[in-house]
Chains A and B, each alone.
Chain A
Amino acid sequence: MSLGKRQLHELLFYMILTRKLEESLARLHRDERLSSPLGLRSGLEAVSVGAAFVPTPKDVLASSLPTTGALLLRGVKPAEIVLEFLGKGAEPSAGRSGIRHFGDLGRGIVATTGHAATHVSVMAGMAFSAQVQRQDRVALALVSDEAVATGDFHEGVNFAAVRKAPLVVVVVRFPSAGRTGPLAGSEVSQLYERARGYGLTSLPVDGSDLLQVVQVVETAMDRAKTGEGPTLIEAPLRSSTRYFGNDDAVPAPFGEAARLDPTRSENETDVDANPIWRFERFLLQQDWLSEAERTGLSARADEAVSDALRAADAAPSPSALALEDRLFHQVS
């Protein structure tokens, strides 16, 4: 995919917006205006924005990661995201599901459940049904590395493999220190070894590098569309901080918007590990981004977040009278 300067700026904008929006949610939580667990993670911006940049409106996406960026790319407005967190979401959720399990088939977003990989077989079904209906449609599922230990992941991926269904699964590998996941929970730490067990192709990508993510997801989706079957993409992150909202303090990088400024770090390793800084550095080095443009994108993201928060404040909560509505289809 050949990207023009404008598209590159848009990609950067969505990564910055993702981070700033999530930081604003963390602040809402800290200020006790939001009590739901947040389940947010920094460091995912390249995967969520990069992977969701590739699908067309006909394709479908589901993610059990904190995928603010992917939702934005699928056309979900920042205000909708804040509203969902506040339990004020409009149709189709009507305040019932929350953003972590948001879905809207009209925008090609399949909702997930609260478990790590329940959506993988649902997306395999999306892919399989697209195949038998001769639709030019690919299903893209994003999961965390914890998901690969589940039966859901295995059964869904295996079904797609058996049917050569157009499914792309991106597995984000979080840094291993102090957590469970394949490194702790499996003797097989590299996804390509698992993929071989399913008879699948596996593609590695640096999950902190936006353009790599775009390129690899595009390759996988092309394979799917030409009948070559599912692909597993392994996207390790170099750095990620999680904020579930159960802690007293909002940890960096969520606490400080200033951390977005790449000039604050002289350390190249830090920049490599931060998808936003890394992409900014690349654009600046290529002379595809000026300081003024960078400041402008950041200001635009600030404005979008402010607008979203204002809209969320003004929106009403759902009526308790609707509590029992829409459990089943109603004939109108």
Chain B
Amino acid sequence: MTEVTYLEAIRQAMWEEMERDPRVILLGEDVGLYGGAFKVTAGFLEKFGKDRIIDTPISEEGYTGVAIGAAFNGLRPIVEFQFIDFIANAFNMITNFAAKSRYRWGAGVPIVMRGPSGGGVRAGPFHSQNPEMHFVHTPGIKVVAPATVADARGLMKAAIRDEDPVLYLEHKKLYRHVKASSADLESQEDVVPIGKAIVRRVGEDIVVVTYSAMLYVALEAAEILAKEGIELEVIDLRSLVPLDKELILASVRRVNKVMILHEDTRTGGMAGEIAAIVAEEAFDDLDGPIVRVTAPDTPVPYAAALEDAFIPRAEDVVRAARRLAAY
């Protein structure tokens, strides 16, 4: 049986979409001749040619603008940021041009902006960040963060087919560590709709809402806690914008306690937003405080001991869950 990695799923989805739709192009630094820093686009240049696979100068703002212009002219560009940290260089183009374009003058921007996010690979402060909230906070951009192989594939296909700008965050630690059998993959839906969360584990005591690589931390903690008689329900958001509020609230109303877990830093993070939604819309259903388990408000540190302390671990979830369960 063939195993498909998370990275391979992203690669396959882009490849198949480029075969299906000649309007899809790919541009970024080293995506062509070199095949991408993580080899996600190896072989694309040979298959699709230099008019569709564009090696760009190091100029994130510039080539994001180029992608927007190409989208206006009928193409469907995928922009690769070699590390998602460098999306900061394109912030103006994304937030002021791509995000506002349809709203202010009716011109849709069907582009996918993708790149490796997240820490845990000892890459230090400029190759490990989780920049999602800059864009979650900007009306007009969809944001997805797949955790599984099937979602990596299905959400990429959905993103490419979407009529609006989609930020696709691929966690680099999952690239080669998360695998699925090709048979399993074939049994899944080809396209995963943007804006739909999923319950990965059913439980009756505490709902853990999470996304991306933290899904596995939540599931690991759930195994530990189950032995103590605490059953976690684990929701994988998959999309941050649009946010599947209905699914979150349905679980909260049934389980009555909620924890939000993410690798991003704490203040202004997704957890705060979800906590507010729960407090506003399901306050009467809560039997305990809304709990956040997140990275602290610091840059991502380089040293292993520091990075290990920065990224939430299963033991952090276990500790927080025990406290919450006691209410």
Residue ranges of A at the interface with B (Cβ–Cβ < 8 Å): 60, 91-94, 96-97, 101-105, 110-111, 113-115, 118-130, 132-133, 135, 137, 139, 151-152, 154-156, 158-159, 162, 326-329
> Do A104 and B105 have beta carbons less than 8 Å apart?
yes
Is B86 positioned at the interface, with any CB of A under 8 Å from its CB? Answer: no
Given A92-B106, A125-B73, A327-B139, decide whether A159 and B92 contact each other with a Cβ distance below 8 A. no
Q: Are B61 and A151 neighbours in the complex by a CB distance under 8 Å?
A: yes
- Total interface residues in chain B, CB < 8 Å: 40
B63 interface residue per 8 A CB criterion: yes
Query: Could you tell me the distance between the alpha carbons of A152 and B164 in the complex, rounded to whole angstroms?
Result: 23
B62 touches A128 (CB 8 A): no
**One of B29-37, B94-102, B167-175, B208-216 contacting the partner:** B94-102
Q: Is the CB of B105 within 8 A of A111?
A: yes
In the complex, what distance in Å separates the CA atom of A93 from the CA atom of B67? 22
CA of A93 to CA of B194 in the docked complex: distance in angstroms?
Answer: 27
CB <8 Å contact, B69 and A326: no
Distance between Cα atoms of A105 and B69 in the complex (Å): 11
A105 contacts across to B, CB distance below 8 A: 72, 107
Q: How many A-B residue pairs have CB under 8 A?
A: 143
Contact present for B102 and A328 (CB under 8 Å) = yes
The answer to whether A122 touches B65, judged by C-beta atoms less than 8 angstroms apart, is yes
- Are B140's CB and A327's CB within 8 A? yes
User: Once bound together, how far apart are the Cα atoms of A133 and B139, in whole Å?
Assistant: 31
Q: Does B18 contact A (CB under 8 A)?
A: no
Cβ A124 vs Cβ B69 within 8 A: yes
Q: Could you tell me the distance in whole angstroms from the C-beta of A171 to the nearest C-beta in chain B?
A: 17
B69 with A127: CB separation less than 8 A? yes
* B residues less than 8 Å from A92 (CB atoms): 105-107
With a CB–CB cut-off of 8 A, which chain B residues contact A159? 56-57, 59, 62-63, 66
Which listed residue (A126, A151, A327) contacts B72, Cβ 8 A?
A126
Query: Interface residues, chain B, CB within 8 Å of chain A?
Result: 25, 51-52, 56-57, 59, 61-75, 92-93, 96-97, 100-108, 139-140, 142, 162-164
A121 lies within 8 A of B105 (CB): no
Q: Which residues from chain A contact B72 at a C-beta distance below 8 Å?
A: 105, 110, 122, 125-126
Known: A118-B92, A133-B75, A155-B59. A329 touches B68 (CB 8 A): no
B101 / chain A contacts, CB cutoff of 8 Å: 103, 111
Once A105-B107, A110-B72 are accepted as A-B contacts, the answer to whether A121 and B140 lie under 8 Å apart by CB is no
Q: How far is the CA of A91 from the CA of B103 in the complex (A)?
A: 11
A155 in complex: contacting residue of B57, B68, B73, B96, CB < 8 Å: B57
A158 near B62 with CB under 8 A, answer yes
CA A135 – CA B92 in complex, angstroms? Answer: 29
Contact: A123 with B69, CB < 8 Å? yes
Q: Would you give the shortest CB distance from B77 to chain A, in whole angstroms?
A: 8
Chain B residues within 8 Å of A122, by CB: 65-66, 68-69, 72, 97
- Which of B70, B93, B96 is the one whose CB lies under 8 Å from A114? B96
Those 3 A-B pairs whose CB atoms lie nearest each other, nearest first? A125-B69, A155-B62, A121-B65
Q: Contacts A92-B106, A118-B92 known; A158 to B59 CB distance under 8 Å?
A: yes
Residues in A neighbouring B56, C-beta threshold 8 A: 159
With contacts A126-B72, A132-B52 taken as known, whether A118 is within 8 angstroms of B104 at the C-beta atoms is no
B231 to chain A, nearest CB (A): 37
Q: In the assembled complex, which residues on chain A have CB atoms less than 8 Å from the CB atom of B164?
A: 328-329
* Given A96-B104, A103-B107, A118 and B96 contact (CB-CB distance below 8 Å): yes
Cβ of A132 and Cβ of B51 under 8 Å apart? Answer: yes
How many whole Å from B78's CB to the nearest CB in chain A? 14
A129 CA to B68 CA, complexed, in Å: 10
Q: How far is the CB of B258 from chain A (nearest CB, A)?
A: 27
Checking A93, A124, A151 against B66 with a beta-carbon cut-off of 8 angstroms, the contacting residue is A124
Find the A residue at minimum CB distance from B56: A159
B106 partner residues in chain A, CB cutoff 8 A = 91-94, 104, 326
Q: Which residues of B contact A115 (CB under 8 A)?
A: 92, 96
CB within 8 A of B65: which of A137, A156, A329? Answer: A156
Residues of A contacting B63 in the complex (Cβ-Cβ under 8 angstroms): 121, 155, 159
28 pairs from A and B in contact (CB 8 Å cutoff): A91-B106, A93-B104, A97-B105, A105-B72, A113-B97, A118-B92, A121-B64, A122-B65, A124-B66, A124-B69, A125-B70, A125-B71, A126-B69, A126-B73, A130-B73, A132-B75, A133-B74, A151-B62, A152-B92, A154-B62, A155-B57, A155-B62, A155-B63, A156-B66, A158-B57, A159-B66, A162-B57, A329-B163
Kindly identify which residue among B61, B74, B107, B142 contacts A111, using a CB–CB cutoff of 8 Å.
B107
User: Are B73 and A152 in contact, with the CB atoms below 8 A?
Assistant: no
With a cutoff of 8 Å between Cβ atoms, the chain B residues found around residue A113 in the complex are 92, 96-97, 100
Question: Smallest distance from the beta carbon of A301 to chain B beta carbons, Å?
Answer: 27
Question: Once the chains bind, are B104 and A97 in contact (CB under 8 Å)?
Answer: yes
